[in-house]
Amino acid sequence: MHVVIVGGGRVGRELAANLSDKQQTVVIVEKDPEIAERLKKKLDIMVVNDDGANMATLEKAGIRNAGICIAVTQIDELNLMVCMMADRAGVPTTIARVRNPESHTNIADTGFSKDEIGVDYVINPERELALEISKRIHYPDASEIEYFAGGKVMMVATTVTEDAEMISYNLREMPLPQGCIIVGIKRSDGTFMVPSGDDTVKVDDKVYLIGNANVMRKASWLLHHKETIVKNVLILGGDTVGYTLASILENNPERKFKVKLVEQDEQRCEELNRKLTKTMVLQGHSNELAYFNQEEIAEADALITVTGDDRTNIVAAVMAEKLGVDKIIAEISNNEYAYIYNTAGIENYVNSHLITAYKILRFTRKGDVLALSHLKEDNAELVELVVPGQCRAAGLKVKDARFPRGMLIGTIVRNGEVIVPYGDTVLQPGDNLIIFTLTSVSRKLESYFC
Amino acid sequence: MEYLFIGVILFLFFIVNYFFQKLRIPPLLAYILLGIGLGFLISRDMYVLLENIGDIGIMLLFFLLGLHYPLNHLLNISRRIWQVGTMDVLLNFGVTFLLAYWFGFGFFGSFIIGGVAYASSSSITIKMLEDTERDKTPEGEFKVGLLIFEDIVAPVMVSFLVGFSLEGEISGQALALISVRVVLLIAVSVLIGLYGFRKLELFVSRYLSKDFMLLFALAVAFIVAGIAIYLDLSKLLGAFLAGVVLSETRASGALDQYIEPLKNATLPFFFFGFGASISFEAGIMTPGLLLVLILWGLLAKVVVGFWGGRIYGLTWKGSLRAAFSLGQRGEFSVVIAAFGDPALRAFSGIYILVTAMIGVLNFHRAPEYAENTYVKLRKVFPGLFANGKGL
């Protein structure tokens, strides 16, 4: 498939690299000559160094033959305009990144259909990031977490602790609650594997569990032997992500969080106080130490650093680690800082660019792919798809489908029921599958399900 | 003659303010002491003049405060403050009432003493928050919430006393009426803010630099405060609500700058008048009870500030800072004390003066006290911090 990406920033680059790996034809349109040159050298792909909001430029990039046009520049309006032009040029799927939540909402409120506007999918990175953080706050003992099938199925990554009795069993005999299985293990030495029934888990392994959302908490506890309860949430940074996260948490119908948000800008604080209904907004001093309120950080159960500045986030996260905060989730823009978090033992850092890129990548897959998640380790992914009526795997037993090693069906959701499949389970058209697969073999999925 | 008099008073304000600042003592205390010292020299007419200027100052103080509390923020605070407010009524009014009753003051006398002990001084607290630059801290927000709660309860108490002193009893109907008025004033202000002033945003922002906008803002402040007085409610509550309503135009910052100098020039007269209003003519009766009540009055506010602060969501240290910043009684206590006989007025006067002085000094040093108390608390009650939370 021919994919045109307008905008060569972090998201554009990640998308291009991933799609290029999957043998798609990718053309990036980037206005900045320096970035364009860097992309050419680093990714070895076609780059049109020109303004994307120009039909002639888009035609140069082959927009008329494109299967997908993805607009991910820094400017919301430009992204929407590019998608509208691509739609007029006959591109079947158009995707725009829209950062400003007001613009994001307004699209639905304009009274026009998506067809009329010409944008098939709108991705709001700030909202996606806030949702991702919110998931982790709800499930603080997981280092990674994903929901599938409308929340019925969960993937949880947790670290095996010394006092977990599960270390004495192999996977086939492991007394995990019914409705969940271990689909991946990352050993403490860094090796990653899709396990078989004979494998065992060891202390400090990072274990990936998939299964019925109702039993995951218990399953995770059997491996981790710790349950963190988060009530007091402190958010550092009141920009879009902080505000969106506070809104999500304060409107949560199931759990009551006490949310505090620290923002250094006085006017922004006033704005937040006008919008948030339960969150306590604190104004930090307007200097570089504004976010380092030790008193508040020390009493928080969870600290979320979304100041928009990597270095501030790192310092605050490390300070929180020293002060004994149970759950720390840090936003990271530049992945090169990840090693600092790893060194400090902070597992939970989230990158909005990667989250955005992966949300978009779902639309680039063939078949009825409902969700796509890449694990932080970057060498495995989770795909949620619907088994089409006419495909190679439909009607076959799992053991007869001959899936490659490194690919495992975690769960099947059939008629609303969550099933953990075994060899004799027959894959039926309309089944909702959640598949755990190593990135190296994920391309083969299409041959089974398209 | 009035000009000369006001000029001399202003000059005295300047002198005492200058020296108190040099001595690092809150200048507010200087105005109160000046009032106590010179009050007996001032004629009735001059006192009324000073009182009127001071009333404008205190009203502007609350109006400016309201400007920084948009409706949504105020609703957010009210969700958390009602429990603390109830605790405040029970401990400061309720327990003081029982203590006085136990000492034989009778129902009416005990009610007055309970009322005197109930509310922290809004004017002193807000002014101290400003002076110590703690007005934008979480505990600052907590204190403002509690003071507003007190300003809502206070008129109900006053109406009770008016009814009792006039007719020897208070009817349920009169209490219901005053409650309806409080709800009415707040509800109408909220509706005007939401559906009226939000629509004036463009108008206000267009003419913000014009001098007539100051007149517009002052008109709103005086009208709402006036309506509150007409309804027998606190003018401070009215002025605060006027500020809240006007904050919906998003012009708080600029309006604040216009009005601030006017407030700074008039507010010292209020504290001077407050000092002058305290009377000691009848001497002190039952000094033992007075001492007990002062100690309880300070302790009860510490409990409300600390425990209430924790309920509200403040940190341990934030709650302790709040605990040491609420002891001062003031204008509302003076109003309540006026219902008593001369002996009770003198008794209340000393109570108010002592708590105001100690309260102001404690407020000033609250961060230091909080720090020390926190360290001691951790030593004495390690179980409180067993979950590892807190510095």
**What is the per-residue pLDDT for B42?**
86
Same domain, A59 and A73: yes
Residue B119 domain flag: yes
Place of tokens 């409180």: B384
Strand order in the sheet with A206-212: A144-148, A153-159, A206-212, A180-186, A192-193
Q: State how many domains chain B has.
A: 1
Same domain, A360 and A282: no
Enumerate the residues of chain B whose CB falls inside 8 A of the CB of residue A282: 137-138
Find out whether A209 and A183 touch, Cβ atoms under 8 Å: yes
- The answer to whether B141 contacts chain A (CB < 8 Å) is yes
Query: Which of A272, A294, A299 best tests the B interface by mutation, with the highest count of B CBs <10 A?
Result: A299
Q: Over chain B, what is the mean pLDDT?
A: 86
- The answer to whether A260 contacts chain B (CB < 8 Å) is yes
Min CA distance, A106 vs chain B (Å)?
21
Residue B277 domain flag: yes
Question: Given an 8 Å threshold on Cβ–Cβ distance, is A273 in contact with B315?
Answer: no
Q: Which of A299, A328, A355 is the last residue of a domain?
A: A355
Residue B391 domain flag: no
**Domain region containing A362:** 356-449
Enumerate the residues of chain B whose CB falls inside 8 A of the CB of residue A280: 76, 138, 141, 313
Among A267, A273, A296, the residue with its CB nearest the CB of B73 is A273
Residue B88 domain flag: yes
Distances (CA, A) of A368 to A285, A359, A380, A389: 50, 15, 20, 11
Same domain, A16 and A117: yes
Among A266, A270, A280, the residue with its CB nearest the CB of B138 is A280
Residue B384 domain flag: no
Same domain, A245 and A289: yes
Residue A442 domain flag: yes
Enumerate the residues of chain A whose CB falls inside 8 A of the CB of residue B246: none
Min CA distance, B319 vs chain A (Å)?
11
- The answer to whether A356 contacts chain B (CB < 8 Å) is no
**What is the per-residue pLDDT for A112?**
56
List phi, psi (to 5°) of A212.
-60, 130
- The answer to whether A264 contacts chain B (CB < 8 Å) is no
Q: Which of A338, A355, A372 is the last residue of a domain?
A: A355
In chain A, the residue whose alpha carbon lies closest to the alpha carbon of B198 is A274
Enumerate the residues of chain A whose CB falls inside 8 A of the CB of residue B317: 295
Question: Which of B238-275 are b and which e, b meaning 16 or more Cβ less than 10 Å from the residue's Cβ?
Answer: bbbbbbbbbbbbbbbebbbebbeeebeebbbbbbbbbb
Token pair for residue A132?
């991702």
Same domain, A119 and A23: yes
Enumerate the residues of chain B whose CB falls inside 8 A of the CB of residue A276: 72, 76
Enumerate the residues of chain B whose CB falls inside 8 A of the CB of residue A298: 315, 389-391
Question: Given an 8 Å threshold on Cβ–Cβ distance, is A270 in contact with B313?
Answer: no
Out of A91-95, A156-160, B177-181, B320-324, give the one with best mean pLDDT: B320-324
B347: pLDDT strictly greater than 90: no
- The answer to whether A279 contacts chain B (CB < 8 Å) is yes
Tens digit of each residue's pLDDT (9 = 90 or more) over B220-268:
999 999 998 888 787 888 898 999 999 988 888 888 888 989 998 998 9
- The answer to whether B313 contacts chain A (CB < 8 Å) is yes
Same domain, A39 and A92: yes
d(CA B358, CA A178): 66
| Length of chain B as a residue count | 391
d(CA B70, CA A207): 48
**What is the per-residue pLDDT for A70?**
92
Enumerate the residues of chain A whose CB falls inside 8 A of the CB of residue B205: none
Residue A168 domain flag: no
- The answer to whether B37 contacts chain A (CB < 8 Å) is no
Close Cβ partners of B278 (under 8 Å, ≥ 6 residues apart): B35, B36, B39, B334, B349, B352, B353
Find out whether A303 and A297 touch, Cβ atoms under 8 Å: yes
Question: Given an 8 Å threshold on Cβ–Cβ distance, is B73 in contact with A278?
Answer: no
**What is the per-residue pLDDT for B81?**
92
Enumerate the residues of chain A whose CB falls inside 8 A of the CB of residue B76: 273, 276-280
In chain B, the residue whose alpha carbon lies closest to the alpha carbon of A231 is B313
Residue A175 domain flag: no
Question: Given an 8 Å threshold on Cβ–Cβ distance, is B70 in contact with A274?
Answer: yes
Query: Which of A226, A257, A295 best tests the B interface by mutation, with the highest count of B CBs <10 A?
Result: A295
Number of C-beta neighbours around residue A64 at 10 A? 13
| Nearest to B268, CA basis, from B90, B124, B93 | B124
Query: Which of A270, A277, A285 best tests the B interface by mutation, with the highest count of B CBs <10 A?
Result: A270
- The answer to whether A273 contacts chain B (CB < 8 Å) is yes
- The answer to whether B378 contacts chain A (CB < 8 Å) is no
Same domain, A31 and A70: yes
Same domain, A24 and A113: yes
Residue B3 domain flag: no
Same domain, A363 and A350: no
Residue-level pLDDT, tens digit, chain A, 450 residues: 889 999 988 889 888 888 887 778 889 999 999 998 888 888 888 888 888 888 899 988 888 888 889 999 989 889 989 998 998 888 888 989 887 755 555 555 555 556 667 788 888 888 889 998 998 898 888 888 888 888 888 888 888 888 877 777 888 888 888 888 888 888 888 788 888 888 888 888 888 888 888 888 888 888 877 778 899 999 999 999 999 999 999 988 888 899 999 998 888 998 999 999 999 999 887 555 667 788 889 889 999 999 988 988 999 999 998 888 989 999 998 878 888 888 877 878 888 888 888 888 877 766 567 777 777 665 788 888 888 877 777 788 888 878 888 888 888 888 888 888 888 888 888 888 888 888 777 777 777 776
**Domain region containing B143:** 8-16+23-379
Token pair for residue B380?
């004495």
Same domain, A291 and A408: no
Enumerate the residues of chain A whose CB falls inside 8 A of the CB of residue B79: 278
Among A278, A280, A295, the residue with its CB nearest the CB of B391 is A295
- The answer to whether A325 contacts chain B (CB < 8 Å) is no
- The torsion defined by the Cα of A56, A57, A60 and A61, in degrees rounded to 10, comes to -140
B386: pLDDT strictly greater than 80: no
DSSP lists the bridge partners of residue A411 as A434
Q: Which of A335, A355, A375 is the last residue of a domain?
A: A355
Number of C-beta neighbours around residue B170 at 10 A? 17
Residue A180 domain flag: no
Question: Which CATH number characterizes residue A361's domain?
Answer: 3.30.70.1450
Which of the residue ranges B13-17, B69-73, B196-200 would you say has the lowest mean pLDDT?
B196-200
For chain B, first and last CA: distance in Å? Answer: 59
Residue A316 domain flag: yes
Question: Which CATH number characterizes residue B200's domain?
Answer: 1.20.1530.20
Residue B354 domain flag: yes
Q: State how many domains chain A has.
A: 3
Same domain, A6 and A111: yes
- The answer to whether A230 contacts chain B (CB < 8 Å) is no
Enumerate the residues of chain A whose CB falls inside 8 A of the CB of residue B75: 277
Residue A169 domain flag: no
Which of the residue ranges A13-27, A60-74, B319-333, B352-366 would you say has the lowest mean pLDDT?
A13-27
Same domain, A361 and A347: no
| Nearest to A249, CA basis, from A260, A237, A264 | A260
3-state secondary structure A318-366: HHHHHCCCCEEEEECCCHHHHHHHHHHCCCCEECHHHHHHHHHHHHHCC
Question: Which CATH number characterizes residue A15's domain?
Answer: 3.40.50.720
Residue B33 domain flag: yes
